[in-house]
Amino acid sequence: MKATSIGKNATIRIAALATTGAALLAIGPMSVAPAVSEATDRTLPKPPADGVMGFVISEFIPPVIQGKDACPQGTALKVKDSYLAGLSPEERARLSLKENEAELTKRWQADIFGPNDTNICSQPDMFSRPAMRTVQSPNAWGLDLDEGGDEGCAHEEFTSPAGEKGIDNQEYRVLGCTLEWRGVDGIQGDQATGTRQFFASGEWTQVILLRGVDSLENDDSVEVIYGNTPDRPMADSNGKFLPGASFTISDKPPRNRNVLHGRIVNGVLTTDPEDVVLTQTWGQGGARDIRGNRTKFDYRRARLRLTFQPDGSVKGYLGGYRPVFDVIQSPSIGGAGAALVAGIDCAAQLQTLRQVADGIKNPKTGKCEGVSGSMQVTAIPAFVNDVPAVRTAAK
């Protein structure tokens, strides 16, 4: 499966756009990218003699570009602030007074409920809400999913901080200004924190198994198994995952064992577009817990783009098109609580997502029902047992 192997253990100079972006990833999407990209020297290790490489995902978070460019007006309004913004200046001033706090609370909270105990998060379709603040910057991290074209729905594209054009990430456009994604003062948002916990607990833990790797620099055919594992990663005292642990791809339904095909070019592995489904349980996930059984990461026409790192890890993105409702399923499952406690305006988010939908075109309606999105992925070396078992431990 070797294509144009430069030579194992060779030091290569890569000035290609993709690799420059990958080098920047080492700094992290939280950083503001330099204006001019730079070539990078790096030495990649040899692949194992059997061409099999395993990884456990240590980072799977929404990529956010920090700074004021993306959201010049500040983060998206919470339900309470959104309610106040809809009032006349006089009434807004009156209700903002401390002595009227109880009245304000009563009124904005009443605003999230509809008839028959419906609310803006459990039944977001039933509510019409004010438009939310979206990302205004032309930059975003992610992948060019439609390769310069579109999936049948015209949309605006981003340019990555590394200069890559045609980035499709409408999910970021809509949610990139929410407090949950953006965080406060450069601290990552709840999405990143929560996701790390789900990966550490074994609930969402993902692994990647590569087969047929002849070179980490160039290889025209690599099989990629991307799936979930019930095994908890080993971590150090700071919670950082440790490389070299063993995992087994889940053998219980839904198995979420995605078989992909890809190639390595200049140290970057890219898979062909394929649907990818991964676990995304909310709540405890027990058999009797309805919350734990009803959600998933459902990426259509998804691809992985991962750059091999000298330390043996890989960094990059999983990108694809997600059904619009999937994007808000977490607060939607949270119901009224998500709106009352976290102040999330699910209805506004869903409306905005629908407005910018750029994928999963419904042939009957001709409308796009999905949005492009990407997750920033970091994976560290691990031993991954496929199921049915590959006796990798047998010697």
341 binds other proteins (CB under 8 A): no
Strands (E), 255-354: 258-265, 268-271, 274-279, 296-308, 314-323
123 binds other proteins (CB under 8 A): no
C-alpha distances in angstroms, 171 versus 101, 118, 180?
A: 34, 26, 13
Q: Which residue in 246, 281, 285, 337 binds other proteins (CB under 8 A)? A: 246
237 binds other proteins (CB under 8 A): yes
389 binds other proteins (CB under 8 A): yes
53 binds other proteins (CB under 8 A): no
Instruction: Give the nearer residue to other proteins in terms of CB position, either 202 or 337.
Output: 202
Instruction: Give the nearer residue to other proteins in terms of CB position, either 89 or 253.
Output: 253
Q: Which residue in 98, 252, 364, 391 binds other proteins (CB under 8 A)? A: 391
C-alpha to C-alpha distance for 22 and 270, rounded to whole angstroms: 12
128 binds other proteins (CB under 8 A): no
252 binds other proteins (CB under 8 A): no
Smallest separation (angstroms) from other proteins to the CB of 207: 12
Q: Which residue in 244, 254, 294, 355 binds other proteins (CB under 8 A)? A: 244
Q: Give start and end residues of each alpha helix (H) in 6-163.
A: 17-27, 79-85, 89-95, 101-110
Instruction: Give the nearer residue to other proteins in terms of CB position, either 95 or 234.
Output: 234
Tokens of 339: 């709106």
C-alpha to C-alpha distance for 386 and 310, rounded to whole angstroms: 25
Cβ atoms of 305 and 141 closer than 8 Å: no
Instruction: Give the nearer residue to other proteins in terms of CB position, either 186 or 244.
Output: 244
Smallest separation (angstroms) from other proteins to the CB of 242: 6
C-alpha to C-alpha distance for 225 and 352, rounded to whole angstroms: 34
Instruction: Give the nearer residue to other proteins in terms of CB position, either 195 or 385.
Output: 385
C-alpha to C-alpha distance for 303 and 384, rounded to whole angstroms: 20
For 90, the 3-state DSSP assignment is helix
**Residues composing the chain:** 395
Beta bridge partners of 33: none
Compute the 3-state secondary structure of the chain and give helix, strand, coil in percent, each to the nearest 5. Answer: 25, 30, 50
The region of 15-23, 114-122, 240-248, 277-285 touching other proteins under the rule CB under 8 A is 240-248
Instruction: Give the nearer residue to other proteins in terms of CB position, either 6 or 234.
Output: 234
In the 3-class helix/strand/coil scheme, how is 185-240 assigned residue by residue? CCECCHHHHHHHHHHHHCCCCEEEEEECCCCCCCEEEEEEEEEECCCCCCECCCCC
Instruction: Give the nearer residue to other proteins in terms of CB position, either 87 or 234.
Output: 234
236 binds other proteins (CB under 8 A): yes
The region of 22-30, 34-42, 230-238, 302-310 touching other proteins under the rule CB under 8 A is 230-238
Beta bridge partners of 314: 308, 379
Rg, C-alpha atoms of the chain:
22
Identity at 90, one-letter amino acid code: E
C-alpha distances in angstroms, 360 versus 28, 72, 74?
A: 30, 31, 31
Instruction: Give the nearer residue to other proteins in terms of CB position, either 55 or 83.
Output: 55
Smallest separation (angstroms) from other proteins to the CB of 50: 11
C-alpha to C-alpha distance for 162 and 33, rounded to whole angstroms: 7
The region of 15-23, 206-214, 299-307, 381-389 touching other proteins under the rule CB under 8 A is 381-389
Instruction: Give the nearer residue to other proteins in terms of CB position, either 34 or 244.
Output: 244
234 binds other proteins (CB under 8 A): yes
Q: Which residue in 40, 109, 159, 248 binds other proteins (CB under 8 A)? A: 248
Q: Which residue in 242, 312, 336, 342 binds other proteins (CB under 8 A)? A: 242
Smallest separation (angstroms) from other proteins to the CB of 172: 34
383 binds other proteins (CB under 8 A): yes
Which residues of the chain form contacts with other proteins (CB under 8 A)?
Answer: 54, 230-231, 234, 236-237, 240, 242, 244-246, 248, 383, 385, 389, 391-395
